[in-house]
Amino acid sequence: MKIALFPGSFDPVTKAHVDILKRALPLFDKVVIGIGLNSTKAPYLSTEKRKAMLRAVFANEPKIEVQTYEGLTVDFCKKINAGYMIRGIRTVSDFEYEKAIAQMNHALAPEIESIFIVSKPGYSSISSTIVRDILRNNGDVQQFIPKEAFDLL
């Protein structure tokens, strides 16, 4: 079984995340959306809210599971038997950052392959960081967040 991990904070999930995941889904038998918990960062949304949003967005997709994890992403991949890690690339700077992470992950766990999926142009400016800033300032984020997730905000 080909299992992939799509790791991230998903704080909040965006239409860009959904696009990457939907395009990756046909490549794998199962995709685990891994909500990484980082004790040095204070999330905007609770872990439970992020899980609920992702489960709502992908409620009709039996190949997708949502889980949380702490620690090294490659260790979580091993725990769930994922041989692949999906990463979205929006910009050249994303590529440089993700390439460095992929190379370190490969050094730690050469059996886990990083798969880069380039964002569609219409989604390249959408990031959770920017969406969080808009939310914090009471702006309208409806155009950036899937309806199922927006309904849970």
Catalytic residues: 17, 41, 90, 128
Is the CB of residue 119 less than 8 Å from the CB of residue 20?
yes
Q: Say how far apart CA 37 and CA 74 lie, in whole Å.
A: 14
Yes or no: say if 57 and 49 are a contact pair by the CB < 8 Å rule. no
Contacts of residue 76, defined as CB under 8 A and 6 or more positions apart, other chains included, come to 5, 7, 34, 69, 82
